[in-house]
């Protein structure tokens, strides 16, 4: 029962944060079109209205959409053209590697939105 409550709490917090950012006119994209990201997007009901696209370096995913919520997947170049205000770090298990690789995003004022273990920005 505790697991269900925690996942619902994180879902609600993530959707509320994405909604608030979009209403404030902030540009938000996703980073990492993983299998777990598709699960998250479907569970949370996050579609292109809250997350216009996800960038991923896997060529076979680019030009496709996520299963269910149909969020477009674009190549890494789309991430920096121009950089978003916030990036939802969907590949959370590779966070350190991704944030080191995308250091220019942070230098330019971008913020990472993370949801594990709680919804927070870095």
The domain locations on the chain are 2-121
CA–CA separation, 61 and 20 (whole Å): 29
Q: What is the pLDDT of residues 34-58, one digit of tens each?
A: 999 999 999 999 999 999 999 999 9
Q: In the sheet that 73-74 helps form, which strands lie side by side, from edge to edge?
A: 73-74, 54-55, 28-31, 86-89, 111-114, 120-121
> What average pLDDT score do residues 25-32 get?
98
What is the model's pLDDT at position 75? Answer: 98
Q: What is the pLDDT of residues 70-93, one digit of tens each?
A: 999 999 999 999 999 999 999 999
**Which class for 88: exposed (0-12), middle (13-18), buried (19 or more C-beta within 10 A)?**
buried
Alpha-helical regions (H) of the chain = 2-23, 35-44, 95-101, 103-107
Specify the pTM.
0.94
The first and second tokens of residue 11, run together, are: 């879902």
Domain 2-121 sits in CATH at 3.40.50.720
What is the model's pLDDT at position 1? Answer: 78
> What average pLDDT score do residues 16-43 get?
97
Report how far apart, in Å, the C-alpha atoms of 39 and of each of 33, 106, 109 are.
Answer: 11, 27, 29
């Amino acid at each position: 029962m505790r697991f269900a409550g925690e996942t619902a709490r994180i879902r609600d917090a993530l959707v509320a944060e994405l909604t608030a950012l979009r209403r404030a006119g902030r540009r938000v994209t996703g980073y990492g079109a993983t299998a777990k990201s598709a699960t998250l997007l479907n569970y949370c009901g996050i579609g292109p209205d809250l997350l216009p696209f996800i960038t991923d370096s896997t060529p076979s995913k680019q030009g496709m959409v996520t299963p269910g919520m149909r969020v477009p997947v674009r190549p890494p170049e789309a991430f920096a053209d121009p950089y978003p205000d916030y990036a939802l770090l969907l590949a959370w298990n590779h966070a350190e590697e991704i944030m080191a690789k995308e250091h220019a995003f942070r230098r330019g004022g971008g913020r990472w939105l993370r949801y594990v273990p709680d919804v927070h920005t870095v």
